[in-house]
Amino acid sequence: MNAEAPLLSVKDYSLEFRTRSGTVHALEDVSIEVARGETVGIVGESGSGKSVLSFGILRILDAAADVRAGAISFAGMDMLAAKESALQQVRGREIAMIFQNPRTALNPIRKIGRQIEDVLRTHTSTLQADLKKKAIECLAQVRITDPERRYSAYPFELSGGQCQRVMIALALACNPSLLIADEPTTGLDVTTQAAIMELVSELARERSMATILITHDLALASEYCDRIVVMHAGHVVESAPTARLFERPRHPYTARLIASTPSPEVEIDSLASIPGNLPDLRRNDLPKCRFHARCDRAVAQCTVGPLPEATFEPGHRVRCFNPLAYTAP
Amino acid sequence: MLKMILRRLAGAIPNIVGVVIVTFLLTRALPGDPAAYFAGPSATTEAIEQIRAQLGLDKSLPHQFVLYLKELASGDLGNSLSTGQPVLAEIRTRLPASLELTLCGLVLACVTAIPLGVLAATRPGSWIDHLCRMLATAGVSLPTFFTGLLLAYVCYFLLGISPSPVGRLDVSFPAPATVTGLYLVDSLIARDMETFRAAAAQLILPAATLGLFVMAPLMRMTRASMLGVLSSDFIRTARASGLSGTKVLYTYAFRNALLPIVTTLGMVFSFLLGSNVLVEKVFAWPGIGSYVIEALVSSDYAPVQGFVLTMALVYVMLNLAIDVMYGVIDPRVGIEG
């Protein structure tokens, strides 16, 4: 991480959802920093709060969400204090987002070209007469074949991969400085996945755009990310540069995740699953460390004391009472 | 598009044939003997038989059916026994009256229920949501004859702001020259603003009565449909792209929520057209519903047959119109349908 102020900084962010069956403690003391041009992966199993965090950053949360504490600043702007009108200026122009299930993430009864035009009209001063040309350019940038014709296509006429390309075109139309990609390849077949990821990382490099890649696939994150943030049950448990994280994971959960990730060198039998499930986040007596019940390194303190944060090297932070130790090389 | 419409119309022919057969059989199966009814209580058996022969009711059922088809083919729906008038002429004057009333009721319901439903969906749990729920409950639970009477009592008798609630036009006005049969439209065509105003004044109370009744399903459907659409993925995308609130609400959400609303509209329209007898009775509205009820009570089968056939045709046209609207709203609905 460089010395200048990060592009995005989330500090001690806590979020709850009030539901009929109780309060869901969705995020607690989450801190994340993203520098300009950097690609950060947020990894964790389903329900760990990755998507909620990204919605929280953009402030497009459900009405039942309640921000309890923390601060989010983006390029010097206080996102939590900002007015809705100011947020609308940031969304789509400075921070853009692509989603999983691209097919349902696009308006089903509006031509895709028109949907891109809507974004352009909102955020740029493009003349009415040039809008269509500009939208077609956006489509061409994400390498959609025959963009002039695709301009008037509806999402249902396109394949899943093409829809995700349209989504990317829509998100990048205004040259944002941060792209949040929420499981962008879920539901696509493997070759399409690779093509989409290549496209995203290439476009991000070209524009020196920062990217947050949200995924449950550690292998995918390791391929494209400079840094990886591991989340578990609404906590950030570890964050480190990618190589470092794989070499010397400090949090037991990270170590388990790595051990359960398939790769060509590892035999399928030696893959270890992580026992247990995420704790019920509606509980009011959640242990300090939410991984404690599934952890083989748990100690007595895990349920009581405040969760410590240890920094092992610059940029490698762990929140654990009993992190893995390595002898000096 | 045109090809689709023609094909759909052709597809409706078997339905119409079925309707002709079924109504013919059903009206013959009605209890009561029309011949005896029209001969009067003091008629002799001979007189009744004579009338029966006159009406052609002494012939066998298939024979009667063939005769009926022959008349139908020449555009003759028969004569009403009680009034002696040709059924076709009666329907021609009464159907527009019912249409005008129903359409105005629907328009009133739409302009209130749809915005209220949208508001309720964007603010679930707010006072406006509760107000909508109350209005909807009141709208369906108060019978139309009651709201009709109440409105007439308040607006005519107490406040005196509306003309006497009898018929389509005050007696001092001549009916406008018939073009469409809808007084509002005809008086506009004739550029007769006074007649227009008078017709509108007569129309407003019964139309409001109907509108109040129809508001409930329309409002509930609008609210439910909007709520569903507002929580869908593409709305999140639109918000994440920084589109303004109104753009998200109208261009993105509302158009997607329209399909079920249009379906409901079609349903209540066809339901109302034939069954707003109570409102027609309360306001002495010379509509098709009150006409056919009278005919039914007196076993006057020709008007009943004519009515059912007319309604079947109206339904076919209505469904076609709704399908065309679907195609306009939603590109996924194949035009070939």
> Nearest Cα to B238, choosing from A42, A204, A63, A108?
A108
B125–A contact, CB cutoff 8 A: no
Residue found by looking up tokens 């853009």 in the block: A96
Total tally of structural domains belonging to chain B? 1
* Averaged confidence pLDDT in chain A: 89
Average confidence (pLDDT) over B156-165? 83
Q: What is the rounded distance in angstroms from the CA atom of residue A326 to the CA atom of residue B223?
A: 60
The H or E element that residue A113 is part of is: helix A112-123
Q: How far is B234 from chain A (nearest CA, A)?
A: 4
Distance CA A55, CA B321 (A): 42
Mutate to test the interface with B, among A20, A57, A88, A178 (most CBs of B within 10 A): A88
On whether any CB of chain B is under 8 Å from the CB of A88, the answer is: yes
3-state secondary structure of B84: coil
Helix ranges (H only) for B74-143 are 87-122, 127-141
Q: Is the pLDDT of residue B13 over 90?
A: no
When pLDDT is cut at 50, 70 and 90, the band that residue A1 belongs to is very low
Per residue in A69-109, pLDDT tens? 999 999 989 999 999 999 999 999 999 999 988 889 999 99
pLDDT tens, position by position, B40-96: 777 788 888 888 887 777 888 888 888 888 888 888 888 887 788 888 888 888 888
CATH code of the domain covering residue B252: 1.10.3720.10
Disruptive mutation site among A62, A111, A115 for chain B (greatest number of B CBs within 10 Å): A115
A305 part of a folded domain: no
**Cα separation of A235 and A246, whole Å?**
20
Q: Say whether residue A89 is in contact with chain B using an 8 A CB cutoff.
A: yes
Give pLDDT, residue A328: 60
Helices (H), chain B: 2-29, 34-39, 45-55, 61-73, 87-122, 127-141, 144-152, 183-189, 193-230, 233-240, 245-246, 255-275, 277-282, 288-297, 301-329
Domain span at A122: 102-175
A134 belongs to a structural domain: yes
| Cβ-based contacts of B236 with chain A (< 8 Å) | 55, 60, 99, 105
Of B236, B241, B331, the CB nearest to A92: B241
Domain count, chain A: 1
Cα angle value A91/A130/A145 (rounded, 5°): 80
Q: Which domain holds residue B193?
A: 87-329
What percent of chain B has a predicted confidence (pLDDT) above 70?
A: 98
The position carrying tokens 């748990």 is: A298
Phi, psi at residue A246, to the nearest 5°?
-75, -35
Q: Does the beta-carbon distance from A170 to B241 stay under 8 Å?
A: yes
- The answer to whether B155 contacts chain A (CB < 8 Å) is no
Structure tokens at A300: 């007595």
Copy the structure tokens of residue B191: 């550029």
Task: Please report the pLDDT score of residue B336 as a whole number.
Answer: 46
A58 CB neighbours in chain B (<8 A) are 240
Asked if pLDDT for residue B174 goes beyond 60, the answer is: yes
Contact call for B242 and A91, based on CB within 8 A = yes
Sign of CA dihedral B113, B119, B125, B129: negative
Q: Alpha carbon of B147 to those of B141, B143, B297: distances in Å?
A: 10, 7, 25
Which runs of consecutive H residues, i.e. helices, occur in B231-300? 233-240, 245-246, 255-275, 277-282, 288-297
A154, HSE (Cβ side, Cα atoms, 13 Å): 11
Name the band, by pLDDT with cuts 50, 70 and 90, for residue B225: very high
Q: Is B102 domain-assigned?
A: yes
In a domain, A154, yes or no: yes
Beta carbon pairs, A and B, within 8 Å:
79
**Tens digit of each residue's pLDDT (9 = 90 or more) over A164-208:** 999 999 999 999 999 999 999 887 888 888 999 999 999 999 999
Distance (Å) from the C-alpha of residue A27 to the closest C-alpha of chain B?
20
Instruction: Please state the φ and ψ torsions of residue A228, each to the nearest 5 degrees.
Output: -125, 135
In a domain, A318, yes or no: no
Helical spans, DSSP H, in A218-259:
218-224, 242-247, 252-259
